[in-house]
Chain A
Amino acid sequence: MNFAFSEEQDQLRDVVRRFVEEKSSEEEVRRLMDTEVGYDPNVWAQMANELGLQSLHIPEEFGGQGFSFVELAIVFEEQGRRLLCSPYFATVALATNAILNAGTTDEKAALLPGIASGETIATLAFTEPNGRWDADGITMVAREDGGGWVLDGTKMFVIDGNNADLIVVAARTAGTSGEAGISFFTVAGDAQGLTRTALATMDQTRKQSKLEFAGVKATPLGAAGQGWSALSKTLDQAAVCLSNEMAGGAQFVLDMSVEYAKVRVQFGRPIGSFQAIKHKCADMLLEVESAKSAAYYSAWAAGEDNEELPVVASLSKAYCSDAYFHATAENIQIHGGIGFTWEHPAHLYFKRAKSSEILLGDATYHRELLAQRIGI
């Protein structure tokens, strides 16, 4: 048993940390969150060309580097610390995994090299206006039309939907329900009949879109009607990635709180010497360390692709969601009035924590899923 990162993995962390610190200062986050695209294409290109981040866990035969989810987790954690505004989560955690899980060898060979090189920004469109994260939430019907497939309907909360060159869509064949009859398709971002609307997001650091499909021609990805197990696995893997991102953000706000508690003086002494504040910080540390343990372990399970993954993914998503939100909320309280201002970064993390919590299903949803998965 060994629960430590390797030396190479530590080096990767150093490189990514330096890069993200340089490219995603608070000032830059604020600049980007006010733009419609919400990311910097130059940074995206550097991530691909200089660091190879988009290709990290793509197998070598498809233009990638063949690393595991543990390396990916490191990248997400570091991005989470600095709220890096980027279509990385949509492209790597969602679309890439969906293609890897669902696609045939030929489909992977056609789609993945573009992602690996940073040319293609991609996303996964599966949620709908009903806001559900399970199989029943997918109501969009794919119909066959003259030898091809056509999509009609609306996808909501699609992360970086407006930025994506490639959209992986989950839809179902007419007359099916639940986990049966779900299929994947791919659609180009500029496909005819597709209307993309940027949504006004509460968390401005991660862009979302509404995608309206009106007779959009779509290319099948994987076997028709057999998509659920690949989608379910994709959501588990994405939950693992998001958990690590949340753990990184939680650590960052804890550091922010502790720093402030040491220097802010009231009643003639630093507020961190008051137990009411000190004990909050202690509880935050306990939760942050625990979130990391859960997130890292889930990354290992995802990398091994073992039977533990579904349980561990839900466990990790539930724990990290609660821990991150709690940390960001306490961070505001510990900062007092300044923590409530627009100028202070506390709200950026608070909002990112809430949106990340809801994304892919909140803690309550995942505890229920976990209960089912462990046979309660």
Chain B
Amino acid sequence: MDFRDTSAEAAFRDEIRAWLSENLVGEFAALGGRGGPADERGWDTRIEWERTLGRDRWVGMSWPEEYGGRNLNFSQQVIFNEEYAKANAPARISFFGEGLFAPTLIAYGTHEQKSRFLPKIQSVDELWCQGYSEPDAGSDLSNVATRAVRDGDEWVINGQKVWTTLAHRAQWCFVVARTEAGSTGHKGLSYLLVPMDQPGVEIRPLRQMTGSAEFNEVYFSDARTSADLVLGEVGDGWAVAMATLGFERGTAFMSQQLAFQRELREVIEVAQGNGRSKEATTRQDLADSYIGVQVMKYNGMRMLTDLVARGVIGPSSSIGKLFWSNWHRTLGERAMDVLGTDALLVASEGNGEYELEDFHQIFMSSRAETIYAGASEIQRNIIGERVLGLPREPR
């Protein structure tokens, strides 16, 4: 047990600091670290920034070198993310491509597929979105009804996806579709890679409670993709889809707590500014949030040590997901308590504009975090059944 950097880790940390201080300047630095993957504020500048990262292979840093990566291990990725957060660098946009799709592609893709897609993710020329959920397939993803049928050397896709974040920005979508007619449940599904810019794909924005429209309905009407753009075997899409979810619940959020620490600091500062920090209940709340974010950090370090030793995270990543999403939701509520009557007003309102302050953003967007990437109830089922070995509920 030792929480200090090894000398190699310290040297790596210095390298990142140097890179950031050289590159994170001007309008990039001005963006600050706010926002998340589904937050479109400062979009164009953030794209430019992300391209700067990609140019120097900080996008895709964990990938094998033959695909342009740096082959960095988990500890190094965490060190990068720590320094990135400390430098208050902009929130990343390539979450779906770099964070979810790329690791799945590396695990399941052919050499051709990797060579085709990874460089464009790194150069931020192609963004991805996640085509899982449908009106009748949410928590029960195996109920997917979108169909894909072979027609010569193409797949023809029909059906509807919903809640598809950033579909309107993405060039590609990884789609879970039923490729075996008459199949049900986990069987007969495939993981298709579908270009978004084509006549058969229609995107309709859905406005969220935050006022903005970052997710969408996506309609496939005879949409087409090339026959070789199936990830994994045809009919084996369930396993591939689950691998993506594993990354989504595990490593993709490992550095989440760093951004959370900054948010908590801001809430504490506001409480100190308006005097609430002198009230006993507020002090209890703020201390409790502090404890939570630290515990999240310790849990993350234990998980990382385990990951480095064993190579896999497994279902215990559900513990992390459950923890951080609940913690963040509570922080949002406490931020409102700290604001008091200031919480009654948003940044701007009227003319169809409904623009939120940062604390409102936390308060509202955190309501989605206990729903997506597996709702909290589903996480508890996974922990109960796959970690503790409790009997399954009747299905």
Stretch at the interface among A57-65, A223-231, A270-278: A270-278
Given the interface pairs A258-B389, A278-B390, the reply to whether A285 lies near B291 with Cβ below 8 Å is no
Which residues of chain B are within 8 angstroms of A258 by Cβ–Cβ distance? 388-390
Chain A positions near chain B (C-beta within 8 angstroms): 1-6, 9, 70, 258, 261-262, 269-270, 272-275, 277-279, 281-283, 285-286, 289-290, 292-294, 296-297, 300, 312, 315, 318-319, 364, 367-368, 370-371, 374, 376
Point out the residues of chain A lying under 8 angstroms from B298, CB to CB.
Answer: 3, 290, 293-294, 296-297
**Are the C-beta atoms of A278 and B305 separated by less than 8 Å?**
no
Which residues of chain B are near A3, meaning CB under 8 Å? 1, 3, 298, 301-302, 304-305
- Cα of A250 to Cα of B166 in the assembled complex, Å: 43
Q: A272-B384, A290-B295 are in contact. Are A371 and B377 (CB under 8 A)?
A: no
Q: Chain B contacts of A4 at CB under 8 A?
A: 1, 302, 305-306, 309
**Can you spell out 8 A-B residue pairs with CB atoms less than 8 angstroms apart?**
A1-B5, A9-B1, A258-B390, A278-B381, A294-B298, A371-B287, A376-B283, A376-B286
A278 to B387, CA, bound (A): 11
**A368: contacting residue among B272, B283, B384, CB under 8 A:** B283
Report Cα–Cα, A367/B61, bound state, in Å.
40
Cβ contacts under 8 Å, A262 to chain B = 389-391
Among B3, B284, B377, B384, contact of A1 (Cβ-Cβ < 8 Å): B3
Whether, in the assembled complex, B162 has its beta carbon less than 8 Å from a beta carbon of chain A, the answer is: no
User: Which partner residue on chain B sits nearest A294 by CB separation?
Assistant: B295
Interface residues of chain A: helix, strand, loop or mixed (majority):
helix
* Bound Cα distance A368, B305 (Å): 32
B277 interface residue, CB < 8 Å from A? Answer: yes
* Contact (Cβ within 8 A) A319 B383: no
Please count how many residues in chain B sit with their CB below 8 Å of the partner chain's CB atoms: 49
Q: Which one of A6, A269, A293 has the greatest number of beta carbons of chain B within 10 Å?
A: A293
Say whether A376 contacts B291, CB under 8 Å.
no
Residues of A within 8 A of B323 (CB): 286, 290
Please provide the 5 A-B residue pairs with the shortest distance between their CB atoms, ordered closest to farther.
Answer: A278-B384, A293-B298, A282-B383, A272-B390, A367-B287
CA distance A6 to B309 in the complex (A): 13
* CB-based contact B283/A1 at 8 Å: no
Q: Mark B315-355, 1 if CB is under 8 A from A, else 0.
A: 01001001100000000000000000000000000000000
Task: Give me 11 other A-B pairs in contact (C-beta within 8 A), A3-B298, A293-B298, A368-B284 excluded.
Answer: A4-B302, A270-B391, A275-B377, A275-B393, A278-B381, A279-B380, A282-B383, A290-B299, A315-B295, A370-B287, A371-B286
Does B392 touch A at the CB level, under 8 Å?
A: yes
- Given A261-B390, A285-B319, A374-B290, check contact A70 B384 (CB 8 Å): no
B283 near A371: Cβ-Cβ < 8 Å: yes
B366 within 8 A of A: no
Do the beta carbons of A318 and B291 come within 8 Å of each other?
yes
Chain B residue nearest to A257 in the complex (CB): B388
Bitwise, B1-25 to A at CB < 8 A (1) or not (0) is: 1111100010000000000000000
Q: What separation, in Å, do the CA atoms of A262 and B388 have in the docked complex?
A: 10
Encode B269-297 as 1/0 by CB contact (under 8 A) with A: 00110000100100110111011001100
B199 at the interface (CB under 8 A from A): no
Chain A residues with Cβ below 8 Å from B302 are: 3-4, 289, 292-293, 296
**How far apart are B119's CB and chain A's nearest CB, in angstroms?**
32
Contact in complex: A282, B379 (CB < 8 Å): yes
Please indicate the chain A residues that have their CB under 8 angstroms from the CB of B291 in the complex. Answer: 294, 315, 318-319, 367, 370
Bound: A1/B305 CA distance, A? 8
Q: Contact check, A273 vs B290: say whether CB atoms are below 8 A apart.
A: no
How many whole Å from A320's CB to the nearest CB in chain B?
A: 10
Find chain B residues with CB under 8 A from A368 CB.
280, 283-284, 287
Closest to A284 in B: B388
| Interface assignment of B75: CB less than 8 Å from any CB of chain A | yes
Inter-subunit contact A2/B305 (CB<8 Å): yes
Residues of A within 8 A of B392 (CB): 273
Taking CB atoms, residues of chain B closer than 8 Å to A367 are 283-284, 287-288, 291
- Closest CB of chain B to A325's CB: distance in Å? 15
A300 near B3 with CB under 8 A, answer yes
- A1 near B301 (CB under 8 angstroms)? yes
Give chain A nearest CB distance to B134 CB in angstroms. 24
B394 interface hit (Cβ, 8 Å): yes
Known: A269-B394, A290-B299, A315-B294. A275 touches B283 (CB 8 A): no
A9 proximity list for chain B (CB < 8 A): 1
- Bound-state Cα–Cα, A337 to B394, Å: 26
Q: Complex Cα distance A283/B389, Å? A: 14
- Min C-beta distance of A308 to chain B, whole Å: 10
Residue from B304, B305, B384 within 8 A of A282 (CB atoms): B384
Using Cβ atoms and an 8 Å threshold, which residues of chain A touch B288?
318, 367
- Cβ of B294 and Cβ of A273 under 8 Å apart? no
Bound: A282/B388 CA distance, A: 8
Q: How far is the CA of A261 from the CA of B384 in the complex (A)?
A: 11
User: Which residues from chain A contact B319 at a C-beta distance below 8 Å?
Assistant: 285-286, 289
**Within 8 Å CB of B384, what residues of A?**
272, 275, 278-279, 281-282
Bound complex: CA A283 to CA B318 (Å): 11
Pairwise interchain contact A376-B9, C-beta atoms closer than 8 A: no
B379 touches A318 (CB 8 A): no
- Among residues of B, the one whose C-beta sits closest to the C-beta of A275 is B393
Contacts of B3 in A (CB 8 A): 1-3, 297, 300
Residues A282 and B380 in contact, CB atoms below 8 Å apart: yes
**B283 cross-chain contacts in A, Cβ below 8 A:** 367-368, 371, 376
Tell whether, in the assembled complex, residue B391 and residue A272 are in contact, meaning their CB atoms are under 8 Å apart: yes
**Nearest-CB distance from B44 to chain A (Å)?**
36
Shortest CB-to-CB span from B212 to chain A, Å, is: 32
Which residues of chain B come closer than 8 Å to A281, judged between CB atoms?
383-384, 388, 390
Q: How many angstroms from the CA of A277 to the CA of B380 in the assembled complex?
A: 10
- Measured CA separation A273–B389 after assembly (Å): 10
A2 and B2: CB pair below 8 A? yes
Q: Which residues from chain B contact A296 at a C-beta distance below 8 Å? A: 1, 298, 302
A128 to B288, CA, bound (A): 28
A300 with B391: CB separation less than 8 A: no
Residue of A whose beta carbon sits closest to that of B295: A290
